């Protein structure tokens, strides 16, 4: 039989193979300090499990059970988020809820880093809550679901009351609806075209006004 001529390998393919070989020889790419910073931020977050329920899905042949988790996460310095997750196992449901809470974090201005600037009401569905600022030393006076939000947010003095549904999802979402509408002196002064000292009043001008402006 006649021997077939051996075709030479195309140069482009040979170059691609050599480049891949070089990449494989170098090994995995090293992580920079940016990834380490993200890991440190995640480790500093405060995670609170608010509720976990067993849910059932009716399928052909019976019912399929799973778990639904509600988690609140915050950094304790004015940022907080809420998330929910479902899975066949409890740890997986909590993991999904925690990841969603980290993605949905909001920033809330705090007064002196311990309480809110003003009183406000929140409503979501049948849930209604009232949030009031409190003097130093009051502590967190709130129910279970709302207490988890304030602890993750970093609030130390607050008085909260739920006057609507006792469903944890409605209470949490009503609380977040109220927190999203809280404004600090700097935002109000910018909208009105005034100084921060004029918004806070004569008693808190000077050093007090500067301290409030920094904590906005």
d(CA 116, CA 175): 13
Tens digit of pLDDT for each residue in 158-178? 999 999 888 999 999 999 999
Per-residue pLDDT band at 89 (split at 50, 70, 90): very high
Report the alpha-carbon distance of residue 207 to residue 198 in Å, rounded: 13
Indicate the pTM of the whole model.
0.69
Q: What is the mean pLDDT of residues 93-105?
A: 93
Q: Are 46 and 74 in contact (CB under 8 A)?
A: yes
Rounded to 5 degrees, φ, ψ at 133 are -70, 155
Helix (H) or strand (E) holding 18: helix 11-26
Per-residue DSSP letters for 150-166? HHHHT--SEEEEE-S--
| Mean local confidence (pLDDT), 15-29 | 49
Q: Burial, 110: exposed, middle or buried (Cβ in 10 Å; 0-12, 13-18, 19+)? A: buried
Per-residue confidence (pLDDT) for residue 47, from 0 to 100: 92
Q: What is the DSSP letter of 115?
A: B
């Amino acid at each position: 039989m006649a021997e077939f001529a051996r075709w030479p390998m195309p140069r482009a393919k040979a170059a691609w193979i050599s480049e891949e070989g070089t990449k494989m020889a170098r090994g995995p790419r090293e992580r920079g300090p940016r990834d380490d910073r993200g890991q440190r931020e995640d480790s500093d977050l405060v995670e609170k499990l608010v509720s976990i329920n067993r849910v059932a899905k009716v399928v052909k042949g019976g019912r399929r059970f799973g778990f639904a988790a509600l988690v609140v996460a915050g950094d304790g310095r004015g940022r907080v988020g809420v998330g929910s997750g479902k899975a066949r196992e409890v740890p997986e449901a909590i993991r999904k809820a925690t990841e969603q809470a980290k993605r949905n974090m909001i920033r809330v201005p705090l007064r002196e880093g311990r309480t809110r600037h003003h009183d406000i009401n929140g409503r979501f569905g049948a849930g209604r809550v009232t949030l009031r600022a409190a003097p130093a030393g009051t502590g967190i006076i709130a129910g279970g679901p709302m207490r988890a939000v304030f602890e993750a947010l970093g609030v130390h003095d607050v008085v909260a009351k739920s006057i609507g549904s006792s469903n944890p999802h409605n209470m949490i979402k009503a609380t977040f609806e109220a927190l999203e509408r809280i404004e600090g002196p700097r935002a109000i002064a910018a909208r009105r075209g005034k100084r921060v000292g004029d918004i806070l009043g004569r008693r808190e001008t000077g050093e007090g006004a500067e301290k409030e402006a920094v904590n906005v």
